[in-house]
Amino acid sequence: MASEPTAAAGAPAPQPAAPRRRPPCVLSFSLARDRFLRRRFFSAGLRPFSIRLPSPAGAGTSVHVWAPPRPARRPVLLLHGFGASTTWQWASYLRPLLAAGFDPIVPDLLFFGDSCTLAADRSEVFQATAVKAAMDAIGVRRFDVVGVSYGGFVAYRMAAMYPEAVDRAVMVCAGVCLEETDLAAGLFPVAGVAEAAELLVPSRPADVRRLVHLTFVRPPPIMPSCFLRDYINVMGSDHNQEKTELLHTLINGRKLSDLPKISQPTLIIWGEQDQVFPMELAHRLERHLGEKSRLVVIKKAGHAVNLEKDKEVCKNIVEYLREPILSALNGEK
């Protein structure tokens, strides 16, 4: 590649990513959709890189990142949630962010897309460490971070661990204030970690159908099993055991009293009808962060608010990140 992101001092140089290998599939809607979305990333000026982190901390860790060849404007790190790859979740945000003067940087979290590790650590702390190392490798020292759902857990940890690097945070339906006891108390549509893993790491068309109905206010009226099976085969069949372990580590023993308070101005965006992480968790997070936070509730949207109401969510993100820092801290509207 003619131009690549510049590696930070002492960091491994990012390498152009190898083409993603998918099982052969005849007339695969999911594979066609994936190729179409990847082309949108290329047309927005982003390029894929694979960044191998040094051992022992990296322990065979490779982080796949979409980024401008030489980030030169204000960087915004976009972290995806469980589900399809990062291209499926962030493609519609690229052009508006670029038009607003931002450089979107979009990694695959470990065990999603083309990012992986040999390390045994499954915590969001390790995810945050890996993503920060990747940002260092492409020469990005300060940035804003936006996290959706599970990506919000990682974004929150990055803000807590690297206050000198993260300027502002945006949390989209990210239930970081959940407690393990909430499952038994009936706050969620699942009663335990195993059921949560079955829901979020689907292996059958029926599982995908249930997940879509829980995350969208207006799910597609028709979801043929052949299409859902194709989606699982193409987008959701890798690292299922590791993803299940991520959920166990995330939820087991989790207490709000253990959650640090981050110092950055934080925008909280939530779908009003979120059934995966109900509104109670949005209010908990707002109370936890106090005057440094601001809550925006998106009407007629569920947990997949970043997909259902992408234009509205993106508009809120852009407006918030363009505010003077003092206004954001004071929670002014």
Question: 21-71: per-residue pLDDT in tens?
Answer: 444 445 788 899 999 999 999 999 999 999 999 865 567 899 999 999 988
Beta bridge partners of residue 65, listed in sequence order: 49, 107
Look at residues 107, 96, 216 and name the one whose alpha carbon lies nearest to residue 154. Answer: 107
- SS3 of residue 242 by DSSP: helix
Both tokens of 172, joined, read 């989209």
Asked whether the CA dihedral 278, 303, 151, 331 is positive or negative, the reply is negative
Average pLDDT of the chain to the nearest whole number: 88
Measuring CA to CA, how many Å separate 332 from each of 95, 133, 144, 286? 27, 33, 19, 14
* Residue 199 included in any domain: no
Q: What is the pLDDT of residue 56?
A: 58
**How many CA atoms lie within 13 Å of 11's alpha carbon, on the beta-carbon side?**
22
Measuring CA to CA, how many Å separate 329 from each of 3, 77, 270, 332? 37, 20, 19, 8
Q: What is the pLDDT of residue 48?
A: 96
**Amino acid identity at 3:** S
Cβ atoms of residues 109 and 128 within 8 Å: no
* Residue 35 included in any domain: no
> Which residues in the chain show pLDDT less than 70?
1-26, 55-58, 236-237, 325-333
* Residue 162 included in any domain: yes
Kindly report the length of the chain. Answer: 333
| Number of structural domains found in the chain | 1
- How far apart are the C-alpha atoms of 84 and 129, rounded to whole Å? 22
What is the 3 state secondary structure string of 56-114? CCCCCCEEEEEECCCCCCEEEEEECCCCCCHHHHHHHHHHHHHHCCEEEEEECCCCCCC
Strand pairing class (266-271; 62-67): unpaired
* Residue 225 included in any domain: no
CATH of the domain at 58: 3.40.50.1820
Cβ atoms of residues 107 and 64 within 8 Å: yes
Q: What is the pLDDT of residue 80?
A: 97
Q: What is the pLDDT of residue 196?
A: 84
Question: 278-307: per-residue pLDDT in tens?
Answer: 999 999 999 999 999 999 999 999 999 999
Q: What is the pLDDT of residue 14?
A: 58
**Amino acid identity at 95:** R
* Residue 220 included in any domain: no
Domain span at 287: 46-193+236-320
Look at residues 112, 129, 164 and name the one whose alpha carbon lies nearest to residue 59. Answer: 129
* Residue 19 included in any domain: no
